[in-house]
Amino acid sequence: MIVSAELELESIMMDSPRRKLEDNLRKLLEDERFFDISLKCSDSQILRACKNILATRSEVFNDLIFDNSDKPKKQLEFNKIDSEAMKYILEYLYTSKNEREILRKNNVIEIYYSSIYFKLDELQKIIIEFTEKILRNGDEELGKDLLTSFIEKFSLDVNNDMGNILVNWVAKMQLFPHEADKDLLSLKALHYLLKKTLYTYKSFGTYELTLFEYTLVKAKHVVLEEKIGLKKDPYDMKYDSNVIERIKERLMPLLPYIDLRIIDFNDIKSKIEPLNLFPSEMITNAYRFILSKKEEQLQPMRGRIIFKWKNFGRDYWQAENKLYISNNGFTVGTDSNLKNYKSIMGDLIIKGNGIHRLDILVVNLNDTIYVGICGFEEIFDKPGDKGFHGWALGSDGYIYNEKNWKWNNSVYKIGDVVNIIIDMTARHCYFGVNNNIRHENIAHSFPGEIYPFIRGESLENDLKTLLYNERFFDITLKCSNGIVLGACKNILSARSNIFNNLIQHKNINNIEFEKIDSNAMEFILNFLYTCRIDLEKLTIDNIIEIYHATEYFELHVLKKHIIEYTKQILEYENDDSGKKLLSNFVKKFAFNTDNEISQILIEWLAKISLTSDEAEKDSLTLIGLRYFLCKTYNTKKPFATFELDIFEYIVIKINKIILNSLEIKDKQNEKENEIIVAKRMNYYLKLLTPCIDLRRIESDYIIKKIEPMNVFPSEMITDAYRFKLQEENNLFRSIRGIPIFRWNENNLRNNLYISKDGFTLQADQNLDAYKHVMGDLIIRGKGIYEWDIIIEKLCKIIYIGICDHKKFNQECYNNNNQYYGWVLGSDGFVYNKKNWKKYTSEKFKEGDKVTIHLNMTDKTCAFSVNNIRNDYVSEWKNIPSEVCPIVSLKQGSRLRVQHHFYYESY
């Protein structure tokens, strides 16, 4: 009954007079009969509106339109408001509610500026709420990007709600010098941040010295326009005098907002003074202040120290450890089913001298927890147990270190704030609850670099301590790179049948591994000792090496996790990552190897189009390419590259390899070099010719291009011609496997979005005009080609089919139709140019599958909807020799391409 009442109330509200008024006024925005004023925007677009509504709804418009002149103005110009922002303002003024024009991260600053200009206080609140929401749900770079956009639009002296929100947000991030030359925070935005937070009492995440280093790298990057963060010391100023002066010029406005007083004296003397950047008065004043506060301990960071929990954003790591990080990295919780204690560190390295204060709010509490600090490189375990190297306060009220514990009278519960006071000068730590600090100290002083952490107990950590304690080593493992590791025989034998056979049956004290390097062996040992899988240590460069080790030691559980992690890499990294992984695989394993990871890499690479322009620069080696082509020669799985394109890709890649290997010093030897190149080209091509299916390459190309190269055996050439002459092979495709393609980003326009894997295409909800998007597969030659389009979301009529590849760019954007090419509409009609006819009895809807059946031999095309096939469109007699898949869509529709499951293979 409650649900029905709510639905009924919602229905009444939808039909309310207020709603009808809004809808009626919104229609005025589109009806030219009610336009009597023009608004010229900063991007030169002219919008039209009604004077009376604007003047009634905005005192600013009223003053602009009806000034002291005799007649009301017919046109207004706005030099700092673009048309997108103005459209938003107009809809708000007409209706008090924006439905057609929406806020997005790339327009929110522009619209906020406009809302201030027109003094629309309520709209400003809406925009502020939206900004806070997208900051909570976005990545760290979003805040920097918005602050950069904000300061480009406003001045350095501005003080408003948006500026305060963005400054407070960015202030809580750690600003790393090695990221200063590639993040989205501009130097001007950094200037604004430094100025606004100089004497802040709010949260701040970056040490003052680090903040200066970040500022210095950022200024150098602006002047030099090159990536320098990871390549050079921030203090490296080995440039000519002109460059140094330009760097100083960029830095000068920012230096007054670096607080030298809270930077350690030794750092000022050894690092900052030699740069000769700060005015001498600032240096002197800093020294004077430090001397006056000599008896006090200063915090080397402005504001209140804040940090995020490590592994924020790494969903796989969190799921693996049953620790979940939310609130943009500031909140951590555990799975309710977690039996053993887990530890997590903050991402802030506490170092230097001075007093550091951290506050931890206890949101929920189901058992004893431990909050404290730990050494930067130390292994920590349950407080009170052997091997624990942290300093912690338990919720039971005790403070712990190693085997020692002491009553601190600081029991805490849900809603309490745990205070951690760290004296880095004296190397002592004190704890409190709700600002009631207990100055109890325990055990020895701690190291110069520490982390904040929260944790509990775990057997795995006890075992992990054995990995780093030589007292427990009774066997050595010599790895392929010459590094020798120590280990414990009993643990290795108990945890691995392979190690057991090597150790117990042969009774040896050292083992040599010719094909396992120390990096992989350390990963394996960590797993054998603790059952933990350090996925964050896996990289594109070492993942194949470690996978090979898991196969050698028959560690099936670990192998499964590496497989899943590899899939994540392929999904989220760029296309070249998979090519590099496959090349590393072939380098590590025998050429005839066929295992799970090789199948994943082959199937993934098969769905990528191998283009000539990538051949010279991608990471796919020749041996990796040969392995790939051999394994897919007779494939019946999705494949994205035509055989002719594969051959041209090979030729370009070989040519690049040859030229890179030659040392061409004397131009007089050009003929000799040409002979060398030709011989090597012939040699390399012959290695790959067995992997090329000449039957799938057009006869003319074989005759004119391939035969003169004299690299294919004559039998292969003859067999290809013989095959093509047989009539039943007229439907044989020019591509191996099942054709698949991605949406082509090259012709992508605004308000269209392609998924990371390239297979899903979506139109923005605000895209009012139809856009045409091609697939990246150019279909040519003979044969039957079929693919499926899944209708994931349908908002307006969509059009699916094929288009003329050669004429797309010249014809498409001069085309006023909603469709382009030879297409089937979701209304059940087929279209080409100005011709259309009814084709299917029903319209298709969300969730439907549309299949395109293209016969390039007969130049005919048909469509299926949910596997119900219709006849070829008899009127289409003008299908060209080279076509591409195409769709036309708008206003929120979303389409996904998938390969078509064949009952026959061509």
Low-confidence ranges of the chain (pLDDT < 50): 1-20, 229-230, 380-388, 443, 455-459, 461-462, 665-666, 903-906
**Domains located in the chain, CATH noted:** 19-137 (3.30.710.10), 160-306 (no CATH), 307-433 (2.60.120.920), 621-738 (no CATH), 741-899 (2.60.120.920)
Integer Cα distance of 70 and 78 in angstroms? 22
Integer Cα distance of 44 and 38 in angstroms? 12
**Burial class for 136, CB neighbours closer than 10 Å (0-12, 13-18, 19+):** exposed
Looking at residue 839, its amino acid is Y
* 446 DSSP 8-state letter: P
Integer Cα distance of 833 and 748 in angstroms? 22
Looking at residue 237, its amino acid is M
For 826, phi then psi, to 5°, come to -70, -5
Residues 6+ apart with CB under 8 A from 97: 22
Specify whether the CB–CB gap between 624 and 723 falls below 8 A. no
Of 758, 766, 744, 866, the closest CA to residue 812 belongs to 744
User: Which tokens go with 656?
Assistant: 């690049």
Integer Cα distance of 110 and 104 in angstroms? 10
User: How high is the pLDDT of residue 787?
Assistant: 93
User: How high is the pLDDT of residue 261?
Assistant: 92
Q: Is the dihedral of CA 631, 636, 638, 641 positive or negative?
A: positive
Looking at residue 620, its amino acid is L
Integer Cα distance of 117 and 741 in angstroms? 48
Strand locations in 91-145 (E): none
Specify whether the CB–CB gap between 473 and 486 falls below 8 A. yes
Integer Cα distance of 811 and 424 in angstroms? 70
* Unique residue bearing structure tokens 């004119």: 704
Integer Cα distance of 693 and 643 in angstroms? 7
User: How high is the pLDDT of residue 20?
Assistant: 44
CB count in 10 Å sphere of residue 162: 23
What strands lie across the sheet with 355-361, from one edge to the other? Answer: 355-361, 417-423, 428-433, 436-438
Of 694, 735, 733, the closest CA to residue 716 belongs to 694
User: How distant is the alpha carbon of residue 533 from its chain centre?
Assistant: 23
- 540 three-class SS: coil
The reply to whether the predicted model has a pTM over 0.85 is no
Of 859, 885, 743, the closest CA to residue 803 belongs to 885
C-alpha distances out from residue 635 to 54, 314, 630, Å? 65, 35, 10
